Structure 1
Amino acid sequence: MARQSNSTGAGGAENPGRLKQIALTYKMTRRVDSKVGLVVAGTGIVVFGVLLAIGFLIGHPVYAGILGFVLAFLAMAIIFGRRAERAAFGQMEGQPGAAAAVLENVGRGWTVTPAVAMNRNQDVVHRAVGKAGIVLVGEGNPNRLRGLLGAEKKRMARTVADAPVHDVIVGEGEGQIPLKKLRTHLLKLPRVLPGPQVTAVNDRLRALGDLMSNMPVPKGPIPGRGMRGRSPRA
């Protein structure tokens, strides 16, 4: 009996957590998209009404009503998810690191390394490696990013010459990819590398290093150790 009450309590704690998350997502979406509630509710009513009407026509309103309720709930969830995602992209757009956040959620099969290159103006290049090859994604000023992307390509040329390299600039201008379409753009790229070659490319790029690993380490003793003029033991 004790085990049963514990499991019930855990399930009860989990459900309010999910409901709270949905409520927070709805509030966030409504701040950007004020019509989200009307659109989602309207979708559910239309789907349920159509199927119920079909049920009366064929003489099975109960079965059609049950099916209509299930499909209406599914349609509402899909519409809400899409509008919530669009609202999230709208809030992220223009924020530093937004492209990296999208790349981190591309899906399995991609290895993402944020900020492999950056300049003093905070223009940044991220790297994603998958079966489509190497994708360099820049966010910032397009004119400065072209030079930054070109320099990163030259840096990788000797190490991964056998892997295709694609470059993308995130933005709304001509020849740029909007943030909300970045994930779709990557998934549409042709897959030309087998799995073992993707692993080999990742290993070589990891050996090449990135922006953080190439930053100089300050020399001298570490403060707070009480050891002046000495370097700490390993």
Structure 2
Amino acid sequence: MRPMARETSESSGRLKQIRTAYTMTKKVDTKIGLIIAGVGLITFGVFLAIGFAVDHPVYLGILGFVVAVLAMAVVFGRRAERAAFGQMEGQPGAVAAVLDNIRRGWNTNTTPVAVTRNQDAVYRAVGRPGIALIGEGNPNRVRPLLAAEKKKMARVVGDVPVHDIMVGNGEGEVPLKKLQVTLMRLPRSITPAQVTQTNDRLRALGDLLSKAPIPKGPMPKGARMPKGGQVR
């Protein structure tokens, strides 16, 4: 593909993504168009007014246009993110979507380390603050999963800090939209080398448990899989 054709294709792809994001956001935030337009016009108007006041309308007008576009992009991005969280909240896999968007500081896995038949789940992330166990679903079912996972990990992680986070809107819970910020604000407690070592140990533990023999055939009524299977 020629460079110009490639650039055209990439630009077309970005525009399509923006249109898709706008369409999805507008379903939840019906005033998004008016708000973005208002932000752009007000920002541009303020700069233009300052330009006339200091006798540099062209220069301040150009600068105002650039700043207005940036302001519109920031406002759109935040409202689109808020709308997306609003649509995901309470849905199975919402935590995985947030973890998948953490770009730095954490080694994340969008596959839960423990689940129930009701689609409650516990996810794990490893970073400089230590280990984060994030629960999603009914707190009464998830909290025992968190406790069991902490007990299982204690065999291999030593004194590495473990933070349990329950996602939700109840007392002591973290709203989905604040999960990423909460993880990023946790205090750093271990070195990068310890992060790598801890991550490797947990992966090895997971591989070991996944190879544990599981009886074939239907399970007896009321029976549970071994902890390595993580389904309850």
TM tier, smaller: 0.7 to 0.9
Residue 93 (structure 2) pairs with residue 97 (structure 1): yes
The answer to whether the 8 Å contact 1:115/1:211 transfers is no
Deviations 1:49-84 (A, max 9, x none): 001000001110010000000000000000000011
Report the counterpart of residue 116 of structure 2 in structure 1: 119
- Runs (4+) off by over 6 Å: none
The answer as to 2:73 corresponding to 1:77 is yes
The aligned counterpart of 1:24 is 20
Structure 2 CA distance for partners of 1:216 and 1:56, relative to 1, 3 Å: farther
Candidates 160, 166, 171, aligned match of 1:169: 166
Q: Label 1:37 to 1:215 Cα distance change in 2 as closer, same or farther (>3 A).
A: farther
Is contact 1:52-1:64 (8 Å) kept? Answer: yes
> Residue 191 of structure 1 aligns to which amino acid in structure 2?
R
Q: Counterparts of 1:27-38 in structure 2 under 5 Å?
A: 27-38=23-34
Q: CA deviation at 1:218?
A: 7.6
Is residue 183 of structure 2 the alignment partner of residue 186 of structure 1? yes
Q: Tell me what 1:159 maps to.
A: 156
Partner residue, 2:228:
none
Structure 2 gaps of 5+ residues are 217-232
Q: Deviations over 1:93-116 (max 9, x none)?
A: 111111111112122231123311
Count of aligned pairs: 216
Q: Contact conserved, 2:105 with 2:184, CA < 8 A, in 1?
A: no
Question: Is 2:106 aligned against 1:129?
Answer: no
Give the AA of the match of 2:22: Y
Q: Quick check: 2:169–2:175 contact (8 Å CA) kept in 1?
A: yes
Letter in 2 for 1:53: A
- Is 1:87 matched up with 2:83? yes
Match for 1:27: what amino acid? T
- For residues 149-176 of structure 1, the C-alpha deviation after alignment (integer angstroms, 9 at most, x for no partner) is 1111111112112200000011011110
Q: Give the whole-Å Cα distance in 2 for the aligned partners of 1:95 and 1:103.
A: 15
Q: 1:214: Cα distance to partner?
A: 5.3
Q: TM-score, normalised by structure 2?
A: 0.87
Q: What are the equivalent positions in structure 2 for 1:209-220 lying under 5 Å apart?
A: 209=206, 213=210, 216=213
Q: 2:139 aligns with which of 142, 146, 155?
A: 142
2:100 matches 1:110 = no
Contact 1:117–1:210 (CA under 8 A) maintained in structure 2? no
1:41 to 25, 37, 43: 37
CA distance in 2, matches of 1:101, 1:88: 10
The alignment's C-alpha RMSD in Å is 2.0
> Distance between the aligned counterparts of 1:46 and 1:132, measured in 2?
42
Identity of aligned residues (%): 63
